[in-house]
Structure 1
């Protein structure tokens, strides 16, 4: 199984070398450097517009007609930056292209025409703006502070707050946490942003990553539907990836309240050690980066293998 994973695009291969094979840094860093010149990463870089954007838009491509498409398109600037960052592209490549500056000049959110690096009202969008901003060296302090100001009374976040929602969402809270963690890794954060991250983590942990606090029932069937790319969609595997990264960052053992969720991840592993792609999220893409529905997924197998390895090795 590991050999099968290793025969992959550099965007995945370097993570296999670092997280599963335990290669020396010189080995996996050399592979990671190839993301800019080979495979998925190079293909996305070649699609960048001269004005710094992708597909002419911030969250949606230019000319997007929701009624005319099956699913949300995934080709615009934010989704492309998310992929390049998650695949390990050296941000110096985009800094040489003056991408952050060009986006500040030329890219505005479809919501109220707001400036790109200032974020908007959607928690998930602001989480990605925060992560992409610190990755590219942009001062996104105001976006980090936005999460402190917009945390809901139960400790998490909900993109529907602007419509009056006062209860947090699993999806929104996880995406907010990813942005706050990236900000903290890059800058150290502040007392307030660190407290907000702890609060959001507690929201998910109190629910075991997948249960309603009120009844103990699973919050929805999508919690164990694993699909890559994760996009904005919540699953216990997506959340486990976050908690693994946060645990390693904070140098603390896994929280025991993750136990039941981790067994859901384990139960999805097939006898050959792989995880299957549940589905492909509908919507326009530049190109496919993983298996079709029902086939073994290299990306999900990487995720499942490393989170179980972390859990099994560090849980007392």
Structure 2
């Protein structure tokens, strides 16, 4: 044996890359099975915090539909008071790291919050939360629309390395996929709800139309029957001008006193009780009150 050659391989980065791929694959699977957006984003933030070589606090803010404000999405390690304070911040130049990144549609790297002008209005809040640096990356849809921001906070001032920027880009893309999938699902559910509402409304209209048609047919039949009764009563009045009992009760007859005289435009007249007279007035269009001793229609209405 003339010699020995030893080859050393740094496995830390390899293992780190393998773990990153495994975690990323798990997130994609969550998105594919349509896990709740909050669950996906929270898991993504925790994954980044676990994979980062130094302490990092991850945050995802979601853009309003108009793109003018950012809402809390996920930030498992940031203080609750901090999340509440920035929930709903406006997008715009100089509005912290995230508001500016959303406005510019470009990453914004703030390495020292205590001196950066973007954080003038939020410096005290960041100090209370123990935050010293914030790197924010916009989350963009495939058409370039704003979906939100992905931020990496640090306890001490820090300048990002290439690996940090690559990690942010990868997970910003993953967040975009999750958010777009969520928006698509919301749109689908809204469309289904509108379709169901339209179907239900159509069913109501059809039911109402059937009811009205049946009512119209019933009224037409009642009108025809009452008209026939009036003609029969008119023929009988030659012998008895004012009968004792109501003439409008139909085949069974009506034993109520004949109090009111009605007539139609063809000259047929009949005497009836108040109930049957009212039925005739409602169902036969040309019928009017002809009782002279009661003063006609006006007096009957007043009565």
TM normalised by structure 1 equals 0.19
Q: Which structure carries more strand by proportion?
A: 2
Radius of gyration: which is bigger?
2
